[in-house]
Amino acid sequence: MKHFFLIWSKLMKKIIKISLPEYRKLHVEFEVGTAGDIQINDTFIGVAQTLTDPRCFAKAKIIDDGYAIRFDDCEYSICSCCIYDKVSPALSNVSAM
């Protein structure tokens, strides 16, 4: 179990700040110094359907001690490793071991 935690902690990148420059776009800053924008082009259906309203999307917040982003008023969240892969694809391909 200790080995799993060490690998997990190297893969997960802590989010320290987010902003929303426009609808469906997040600017994300990580504790490791990496920052960038991601465009969310998902089709929002089911529990995430409320995100079709830009006011709901604008209620993004950091949760789980910096390891995910969640949007108020719905059950849609994105883990930090998925966001990090989009922000810095060249860095995310490097092995954690």
* Segment 27-80, tens digit of pLDDT: 999 999 999 999 888 788 887 888 888 988 899 999 999 999 998 777 788 889
Whether pLDDT at 83 is above 50: yes
Give residue 18's pLDDT band: very low, low, confident or very high (50, 70, 90): very high
Q: What total of structural domains would you count in the chain?
A: 1
**What is the DSSP code (8-state) at residue 71?**
E
Q: Answer yes or no: is 97 within a domain.
A: no
Decide: helix, strand or coil at residue 69: strand
Tell me what the mean pLDDT of segment 91-95 comes to: 46
CATH number assigned to the domain comprising residue 37: 3.30.2020.10
DSSP-derived secondary structure letter, 46: G
Quote the pLDDT of residue 8. 55
Q: Identify residue 86 by its one-letter amino acid code.
A: K
Structural domain including 86 reads 2-92
Asked whether 40 and 26 are in contact (CB, 8 A), the reply is yes
